[in-house]
Amino acid sequence: MDETPSRVELSPVGFLRRSAAVFPNKVAVVAGERRYRYAELAGRVNRFAAALRAQGLERGDRVAVLCPNSPALLEAHFAVPAAGGVLVAINTRLTQEEVGSILRHSGARVLVADAELRPLAAPDALAGVEVVTVDDRGGGLDSYEAFLAGAPDTDADDGLADAGPLHEDDPIAINYTSGTTGRPKGAVYTHRGAYLRALGNVLETRLDRETVYLWTLPMFHCNGWGYPWAVTAVAGRHVCLRKVDYAAVWELLEQEGVTHYCGAPTVHINVVNHPAAHRLAQPVTVPTGGAPPSPTLLAQMQRLNLHPIHLYGLTETYGPHMGCPRQPEWDALPVEEQAALGARQGVPCLPLEETRVVDAELRDVPRDGQTIGEVVARGNAVMREYFREPDLTAEAFRGGWFHTGDLGVWHPDGYVELRDRAKDIIISGGENISTIEVEQAIARHPAVLDVAVVATPDETWGERPKAYVELKPEASATAEEIIAFSRQHLAGFKRPAGVEFGELPRTSTGKIQKYLLRQRERER
Amino acid sequence: MDETPSRVELSPVGFLRRSAAVFPNKVAVVAGERRYRYAELAGRVNRFAAALRAQGLERGDRVAVLCPNSPALLEAHFAVPAAGGVLVAINTRLTQEEVGSILRHSGARVLVADAELRPLAAPDALAGVEVVTVDDRGGGLDSYEAFLAGAPDTDADDGLADAGPLHEDDPIAINYTSGTTGRPKGAVYTHRGAYLRALGNVLETRLDRETVYLWTLPMFHCNGWGYPWAVTAVAGRHVCLRKVDYAAVWELLEQEGVTHYCGAPTVHINVVNHPAAHRLAQPVTVPTGGAPPSPTLLAQMQRLNLHPIHLYGLTETYGPHMGCPRQPEWDALPVEEQAALGARQGVPCLPLEETRVVDAELRDVPRDGQTIGEVVARGNAVMREYFREPDLTAEAFRGGWFHTGDLGVWHPDGYVELRDRAKDIIISGGENISTIEVEQAIARHPAVLDVAVVATPDETWGERPKAYVELKPEASATAEEIIAFSRQHLAGFKRPAGVEFGELPRTSTGKIQKYLLRQRERER
């Protein structure tokens, strides 16, 4: 019996194969002065994949990448899975210690690192790891181009499918969350999930052949929420950006005719307040993660022809798993009320299928906008597992639903509103910070008895960590000392914005009442 | 071990569940004076599914529907699969004999028939078949509403998922082709294929929440190419149309703000030439099956703000499997050349994945625009099989590719151009007519020695069958007699438009040289 022609395993690698075949001459990538077409993107990806295979990469082997939003990281999103590997895109804002722990936990065989970020990978974390350095701005350290050029002869048409039999439930990527314990947790994404997430993005954020996508969202963050694959599916244009420089953002919005960019409200605040801000001729769709844009920000954006789509998600759900679509009947309501309705986290995005708010027995809470429950989810864009953590996976998947750890209420119209997002998580500039991790770092200081870290509102970053410290009897320390000390164990963005000393509020059973501290911060 | 939350079987039934949950108050269906919302559509579908299950319908049982583009047929696209059944939407233009043979071959347990079309199902074809009559224009024959009302109590939220474990590769529909032998061949579609085809439609023809879809394309034809599911996926509006009445089409284009309708060029010719034709305020996207629109037609359509997307497909590929996207560089070419490039069948549509032009050993023909080969295809929108025809399936799937039977050339730019579509098929008003079937009907006439049927160009229908008849020695018959005789065995649209008598051109081995006859017709 011949293989059936009616079932092809879903993989987003196929999007590049198709776009390169159908639109070889369309511009695929813009990065500074570089600008290249789909045929060239496919050719480079193909050589990259062949070079990985020539290294002996086997199906399921991990390839780590430590790059800004450069073409190399975009290429890796196709080349690594095309070679049969699993992409581990590392957060570029981590410390040496954190990068090392991800390299070790993932067991990466290859690391592709930008020359500037290369020092984040310490020698002891690189035992047995083949390192390829990307220096695409002429610094002379590049070995990536030679790596590609050294690939065995390949035909651009064939190579993409050349990694042996694939099952669509095979892993395509592992994305590490900061987690709540400080221990790296790797959310495993599959080819199928990535394919469906990409088509979901097309549907939810209306990508098409004219899409010009500006890379403000870090590509290491949930695989750039799937846009490396989604934009390629429609043969759109990727405009890369090494760092979010707002003058450059405005230049590119104008010059390239950008139609879409993603980001947290922090990014939007900086975009609208930049001196170069002006109304654009083209409407720009702006999928917005994390906190909802405030009514003021919303109005500012709309004046500039920027149209946010409010989304909310987690690393475990391939990025956004809820969106807040406007209902036609909202138009008739007062503006304040419209803003409140639109600021909710909302309803599941395709292809997530289902989101519920449940009690401890997994029963739906009443849809009364009052009863708090946990948000649970099912669908093809829920991670397959935590890499090499069966116990954590089983815990997160208990009862056949993914437990987001987010607490919220369910409104009569079916929209979910989070009331206390995963209690311990601070979202700063779109990145998650675990308060437990920050607490553990501070707790190592010899003068510290106990510590509680909560979010404090921040104009620029949305939130930053604030530490409440109870010192040991007779011991003393200053806020500056505590912050300096925490530097040894924490990435810069995780360091506390402030420290306050005193007795911590506790329940009768001795648990710290963090909600009181959070309240105190909010009231300031 | 709990069931994993990260894999949900793909099914387009989920699109309705989601749209009803998220947009309960959006108008889902318009049909004459009726107009109802997504919550109501889901409720009706849910009762329909419950009523089918109450009849004892089991997973995989077939439910036939013989309806125009009415709400009942749209509802059946969700209710039948939700009940675990397989939808058999029957071509309403067939004869009693043909309808009977499809009812028997599919083994349908239930027939939902429009009052007007009910007589097409002869009593002998209905042994053991439960018949539900739809008379939604107040003729008094309706039993459909009572069937729905009699359903066991159900909760609209639950019912849609209530048919026991589903595998996405299970059948969702069987679509009968006219085939080349006259014997009905049922192309089996799966839940997965239908889901992916629907998302492919969203991507290829840019459906979104504002989509208003006018039902000019018969819903029985390849499940309306998947639009019952695709329009529902984006929570768009279905505007039903019992028959393609061009005054009504223009009224609805204007009144409902239609954004999309599908059809063959025949439909478009009638649309643009209608007295009510005028430029519309909104652009309308017009996916066009069958022959490409001529440059004249294209220009006429564009003046009216109608924008065709040229597609080509087969029942076996869930409808269109190739499309002809414009390349930016075509803009610089002379108009004639642009039209020629745009009239090709093109490249595979998502989610078809792959189309090739091959020789008899399944090797690619050169991409020279000259060498003729057969078009073969693979992808998730290739039928699973011919129902109960393992030999025909194996033949069509030989070598692991679906053999379309279409002959074409491959151009250097990767676009396919059909040179001789499946030699024996005539496409009349968007419907396939097998010349062999017409020949067999005529051959039964006592005066006929041999007969060859080929396409003759037709202003209105695109093509119609033309019969070349060689009479028996001493026998005589007129064209009128032959046409009248063929009426006994053929649906009206399959009857020859003309008959010509004389000796048939043959090869030295005695095979009729049909290509000479086709050529003769074209030259007229």
Model confidence over B280-336: pLDDT tens digits? 999 999 999 876 777 778 888 999 999 999 998 899 999 999 999 989 889 899 887
The CA–CA distances, whole Å, from A358 to A347, A392, A405, B144, B307 equal 15, 20, 11, 38, 47
Q: From the list A6, A203, A399, which residue is nearest B382 (CB)?
A: A6
A5/B contact by beta carbon, under 8 A: yes
**How far apart are alpha carbons A318 and B301 in whole angstroms?**
42
- Is residue B331 within 8 angstroms of chain A, CB to CB? no
ipTM attached to this prediction: 0.84
Residue A5 is nearest to which of B169, B209, B397, comparing CB atoms?
B397
Q: How confident is the model at residue B508 (pLDDT cuts 50, 70, 90)?
A: low
Q: Bridge partners of A364?
A: A358
Residue of B nearest to A189 (CA): B6
Chain A nearest-CA distance from B20, in A, is 11
B399 touches chain A (CB under 8 A): yes
How far apart CA A310 and CA A346 sit, in angstroms, is: 9
Q: For residue B392, what are the contacts with CB-CB under 8 A and spacing of at least 6?
A: B185, B386
A25 to B206: CB separation less than 8 angstroms, yes or no: no
Cα separation, B27 vs B23, whole angstroms: 9
Which residues of chain A make contact with B354, given a CB cutoff of 8 A?
Answer: 8
Q: How sure is the predictor about B177, in pLDDT bands with cuts at 50, 70 and 90?
A: confident
Whether A165 contacts chain B with CB within 8 A: no
Query: Pairing relation of β-strands B425-428 and B431-434?
Result: antiparallel
As a whole number, mean pLDDT of residues A199-222 equals: 95
The answer to whether B405 contacts chain A (CB < 8 Å) is: no
Provide the pLDDT confidence category of residue B522 given band limits of 50, 70 and 90.
confident
For residue B71, whether the previous peptide bond is cis, meaning omega lies within 30 degrees of 0, is no
Chain A interface includes B383 (CB < 8 A): yes
Which residue has 């997430």 as its token pair?
Answer: A197
Cβ atoms within 10 Å, residue A334: 8
| pLDDT above 70 (res B510) | no
Residue A1: its pLDDT value, please? Answer: 44
pLDDT at A47: 95
Q: What is the pLDDT of residue B178?
A: 62
Q: For chain B, give every residue range classified as CATH 3.40.50.12780.
A: 13-243, 261-422
Evaluate if residue A157 carries a pLDDT over 60: no
Cβ proximity of B376 and B369 under 8 Å:
no
Which residues of chain B from 413 to 452 reach within 8 Å of chain A, CB to CB? 414
**pLDDT recorded at residue A300:** 87
- Report the distance separating Cα A464 and Cα A524, nearest Å: 14
Q: How many Å apart are CA B448 and CA B473, to the nearest integer?
A: 9
Contact at CB, A203 and B234, closer than 8 angstroms:
yes
* Residue of chain A with shortest Cα separation from B383: A6
Task: For residues A185-210, give the mean pLDDT.
Answer: 95
Q: Are B308 and B268 in contact (CB under 8 A)?
A: yes
What token pair was written down for A142? 């590049």
Confidence grade of residue B65 (pLDDT, cut at 50, 70, 90)? very high
Checking if the pLDDT of B256 tops 90, the result is: yes
Residue A49 has a CB neighbour count (10 Å cut-off) of: 30
Among the partner-chain residues B208, B378, B384, the one whose CB lies closest to the CB of A8 is B378
Task: Enumerate residues 6+ apart whose C-beta is below 8 A from B332.
Answer: none
| Other CB atoms within 10 Å distance of the CB of residue A150 | 12
Give yes or no for residue B507 having a pLDDT over 80.
no
Confidence of residue A164 (pLDDT cuts 50, 70, 90): low
Cα–Cα distance measured from residue A308 to residue A322, given in angstroms and rounded to the nearest whole number = 14
**CB-based contact, B242 to chain A, within 8 Å:** no
Interface membership of B209 toward A (CB under 8 Å): yes
Q: Above 80 in pLDDT, residue B153? A: no
Q: Which residues of B68-105 are buried (b: 16+ CB within 10 A; e: fewer)?
A: bbbbbbbbbbbbbbbbbbbbbbbbbbbbeebbbbbbeb
Does residue B434 carry a pLDDT above 80?
no
Q: Is the pLDDT of residue B93 over 90?
A: no
Q: Which of A190, A199, A378 sits opposite B5 (nearest CB)?
A: A378
Which residues on chain A are in Cβ contact (under 8 Å) with B325? 22-23, 209
Does B203 contact A4 at a Cβ distance shorter than 8 Å? Answer: no
The helix/strand/coil state of B329 is helix
Within chain A, all domains assigned CATH 3.30.300.30 are found at 425-523
Q: What is the mean pLDDT of residues A33-55?
A: 95
DSSP output for A139-184: -S---HHHHHHTSPP--HHHHTT-SS---TTSEEEEEEE-TTTSS-
Residues of B in contact with A7 (CB under 8 A): 169, 192, 380
Q: What is the mean pLDDT of residues B485-505?
A: 89
Contact B2 A234 (CB under 8 A): no
Tell me if chain A has a CB within 8 Å of the CB of B307: no
Strand partners, B30: B35, B239
A474 touches chain B (CB under 8 A): no
Q: What SS3 state is found at B146? A: helix
Q: What is the arithmetic mean of pLDDT over B40-68?
A: 95
Question: Which residue from A14, A328, A380 is facing B353, i.e. has the nearest CB?
Answer: A14
Cβ atoms of B216 and B242 closer than 8 Å: no
Residue A333 in contact with partner chain B when CB distance is under 8 A? no
Q: Comparing A192-196, A288-292, A379-383, B402-406, which segment has the lowest mean pLDDT?
A: A288-292
Q: So what's the pLDDT on residue A291?
A: 67
pLDDT at A180: 40
Lowest mean pLDDT of A216-220, B139-143, B493-497, name the range: B493-497
Q: For B8-16, what is the mean pLDDT?
A: 94
H or E stretch at A41: helix A38-54
pLDDT interval class at B380 (50, 70, 90): very high
Average pLDDT, chain B: 90
Percent residues over pLDDT 70 in chain B = 93
Q: A379–B2: do the CB atoms touch at under 8 Å?
A: no
- Out of B199, B385, B399, the one facing A199 most closely (by C-beta) is B199
In this complex, how many residue pairs, one in chain A and one in chain B, have their CB atoms less than 8 Å apart?
Answer: 133
- The confidence band for A162, taking pLDDT boundaries of 50, 70 and 90, is low
pLDDT tens digits, residue range A283-299? 999 999 876 777 778 88
Name the residue with higher pLDDT: A291 or A471.
A471
Strands (E), A11-77: 27-31, 34-37, 62-66
CA distance A136 to A119: 17
B402 touches A: beta carbon within 8 Å: yes
Q: Nearest Cβ partner of B25 from A325, A327, A376?
A: A327
Cβ-nearest to B203 among A2, A26, A234: A234
* Cβ contact, residue pair A21, B414, below 8 Å: yes
Q: What is the pLDDT of residue A360?
A: 87
A-chain residue closest to B316, CA distance: A6
**A22 and B414 in contact by Cβ < 8 A?**
yes
Q: Which residues in chain B have Cβ-Cβ distances shorter than 8 Å to A24?
A: 414
Least confident piece of the model among A419-423, A463-467, A476-480, B205-209? A419-423
Architecture of the CATH domain B261-422:
3-Layer(aba) Sandwich (3.40)
DSSP B90: P
Q: What is the pLDDT of residue B280?
A: 97
Q: How far apart are the first and last CA of chain B?
A: 72
> Which pLDDT score, from 0 to 100, does residue B193 have?
96
In chain A, which residues fall in CATH 2.30.38.10?
Answer: 321-420
Strands A110-114 and A130-134: parallel
**Is residue A308 helix, strand or coil?**
strand
- Is the confidence at residue B496, as pLDDT, over 70? yes
- Tell me the nearest-neighbour CA distance from B196 into chain A, angstroms: 9
What integer is the mean pLDDT of B261-289? 91
How buried is A107 (Cβ within 10 angstroms: 0-12 exposed, 13-18 middle, 19+ buried)?
Answer: middle
Do the chains contact at A397 and B202, CB–CB below 8 Å?
A: no
Task: Fill in the DSSP letter of residue A120.
Answer: G
Residue-wise pLDDT tens digits, B95-119: 898 899 999 999 999 999 999 999 9
Which CATH architecture is the domain A321-420 placed in?
Roll (2.30)
Helix, coil or strand: residue A58? coil
Tokens, residue A500: 């306050």
Q: Does residue A6 belong to the interface with chain B, where contact is any CB pair within 8 Å?
A: yes
Output the CATH code of domain A425-523: 3.30.300.30
Return the number of other C-beta atoms located less than 10 Å from residue A488's C-beta: 11
Q: How far apart are CA A78 and CA A230, in angstroms?
A: 12
**A183 or A63, which is more confident?**
A63
For residue A77, the one-letter residue type is: H
Q: Are B90 and B220 in contact (CB under 8 A)?
A: yes
Secondary element (H or E) of residue A213: strand A212-214
> Is residue A2 less than 8 Å (CB to CB) from chain B?
yes
Enumerate residues 7 to 36 of chain B having a beta carbon within 8 A of any beta carbon in chain A.
Answer: 7-8, 10, 14, 18, 21-26
pLDDT at A184 over 80: no
Q: Facing residues of B500 across strands?
A: B468
Task: Please tell me the distance in Å from A131's CA to the nearest CA on chain B.
Answer: 33
From B107's Cα to the closest Cα of chain A, the distance in A is: 24
CB contact under 8 Å between A382 and B2, yes or no, is no
With beta carbons less than 8 A apart as the criterion, state whether B446 and B482 touch: no
* Three-class DSSP category at A370: coil
Answer yes or no: do B328 and A10 touch at CB < 8 A.
no
Confidence check: pLDDT of B454 > 70: yes
If you ran DSSP here, which 8-state letter would residue B93 be given? T
**Distances in whole angstroms, Cα of residue A227 to Cα of each of A253, A501, B280:** 18, 44, 35
Helix, strand, coil share (%) of chain B residues, nearest 5: 35, 25, 40
Contact criterion met (CB below 8 Å) for B380 and A195: no
Residues A338-362 have a mean pLDDT of 87
Chain B residue with minimum CA distance to A39: B413
Task: Determine the distance in angstroms separating the CA of B200 from the nearest CA of chain A, rounded to an integer.
Answer: 8
B173 touches A: beta carbon within 8 Å: no
**Helix H or strand E segment including A419:** strand A416-420
pLDDT tier at A438 (50, 70, 90 boundaries)? confident
- The pairing of strands A185-190 and A385-386 is antiparallel
Alpha helices in B23-131 (DSSP H): 38-54, 71-82, 96-106
Instruction: Using pLDDT thresholds of 50, 70 and 90, give the confidence band for residue B488.
Output: confident
In a 3-state reduction of DSSP, which class is residue B354?
A: strand
Are residues B259 and B280 in contact, defined by beta-carbon separation less than 8 angstroms?
no
CB atoms within 10 A of CB B43: 20
pLDDT, average across residues A72-100: 95
Token reading at B519:
């050529």
pLDDT of B439: 82
CB contact under 8 A, B353 and A199: no
The CATH-assigned architecture of domain B13-243 is 3-Layer(aba) Sandwich (3.40)
Residues of A in contact with B327 (CB under 8 A): 23, 25
When scoring B2, B3, B6, B349 by the number of chain A Cβ atoms within 10 A, the one with the most, hence best to mutate, is: B6
| pLDDT score at A178 | 62
Say yes or no: A412 contacts chain B, CB-CB below 8 A.
no
- Residue B139 at interface with chain A, using a CB cutoff of 8 Å: no
- Using the Cβ of A364 and the Cβ atoms of chain B, whether some distance falls under 8 Å is answered with no
Q: Grade residue B162 by pLDDT with cuts at 50, 70 and 90.
A: low
Cα A431 to Cα A263, A428, A462, A491: the distances in Å are 11, 5, 10, 12
